[in-house]
């Protein structure tokens, strides 16, 4: 009998955990926010009570947490008295931490996988996430069927952090699309073009990208800026990419510009800002009123 644990029931973790309900023999969950635990228990999961208790009960543990430091602390608790066969980090926590966790888990006979996800809250809810996975190939057949419940897993290799590097590369392109789309839209609006019509044209042509297809129609054109991913977490991910690039001797000048832009978003709009508010900074720099928009 396999008991699966899920630690971290935030905006991404809760829907991912919900997609496992009914597809595993026993699902045990934990989060510091009791209502999030209660919602999963109402769907058929069991409450662990603590990360330590979850680790003691479970054969396989998933984590979906906001920062590398929190992931590190959680894994330490999970394995303090328990020895799950597999620990799988679904967070974007960077390749350095993936290597550190590998070094911690392997001597205990625990297989560590890094498996960050892309696709946002909607992808988590619909089970359509792209999942980038690094970890021991011999244990991959045990993990893959569960990840298929969450989306489409891509096995990137045995090297600890392989999935994390792929995710950081993905995030750089995603953020660059937002920043460049903001510049292109601002150019057109300053010239008197209709922004909604511009998005229609871009999506029919070679300028189409994830920002024009999804982020502008959902969050920028209506001026809600509520796509669902924080600028603060985007900045964390960008800095992880820059740290890894520096360690490998890879220049990332575009990444450095994205870092600076996200820092300005947080300075202007606070820690609760959405990453789509990058568009407001570009608009304001061009003399447009962000309240009206591009």
Q: C-alpha angle with apex 102: 71 to 70, nearest 5 degrees?
A: 10
The interaxial angle of helices 95-105 and 231-248, nearest 10 deg, is 80
Q: H or E stretch including 156?
A: strand 151-157
The Cα 199–Cα 203 span in angstroms is 6
Pairing of strands 117-118, 129-134: antiparallel
- Cβ contacts of 139 within 8 Å, gap of 6 or more: 85, 86, 111, 113
Q: Using CA atoms of 163, 261, 259, 228 in order, give the dihedral in degrees to the nearest 10.
A: -30
C-alpha neighbours within 13 Å on the C-beta side of residue 102: 16
Across the strands, what pairs with 86?
Answer: 60, 111
- Please tell me the total number of residues recorded for the chain in this structure: 294
Question: Active-site positions?
Answer: 167
């Amino acid at each position: 009998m396999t008991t699966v644990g899920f630690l971290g029931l935030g905006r991404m973790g809760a829907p991912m955990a919900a997609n496992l309900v009914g597809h595993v023999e026993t699902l045990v969950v934990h989060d510091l926010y009791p209502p999030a635990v209660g919602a999963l228990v109402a769907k058929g999961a069991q409450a662990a009570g603590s990360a330590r208790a979850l680790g003691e009960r479970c054969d396989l543990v998933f984590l979906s947490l906001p920062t590398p430091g929190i992931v590190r602390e959680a894994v330490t608790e999970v394995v303090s008295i328990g020895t799950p066969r597999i620990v799988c980090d679904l967070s974007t926590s960077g390749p350095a931490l993936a290597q550190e966790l590998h070094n911690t888990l392997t001597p205990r006979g625990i297989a560590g996988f890094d498996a960050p996800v892309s696709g946002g809250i909607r992808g988590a809810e619909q089970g359509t996430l792209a999942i980038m996975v690094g970890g021991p190939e011999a244990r991959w057949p045990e993990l893959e069927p569960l990840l298929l419940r969450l989306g489409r897993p891509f096995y990137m290799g045995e090297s600890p952090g392989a999935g994390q590097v792929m995710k950081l590369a993905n995030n750089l392109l995603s953020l660059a699309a937002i920043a460049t789309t903001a510049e292109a839209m601002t150019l057109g609006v300053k010239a008197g073009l209709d922004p909604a019509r511009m998005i229609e044209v871009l999506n029919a042509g070679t300028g189409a990208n994830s920002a024009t297809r999804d982020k502008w129609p959902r969050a920028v054109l209506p001026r809600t800026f509520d796509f669902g991913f924080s600028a603060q977490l985007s900045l964390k991910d960008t800095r992880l990419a820059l740290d890894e690039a520096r360690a490998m001797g890879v220049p990332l000048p575009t990444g450095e510009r994205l870092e600076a832009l996200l820092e300005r978003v947080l300075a202007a709009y606070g820690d609760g800002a959405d990453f789509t508010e990058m568009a407001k900074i570009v608009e304001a720099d061009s003399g447009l009123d962000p309240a009206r928009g591009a």
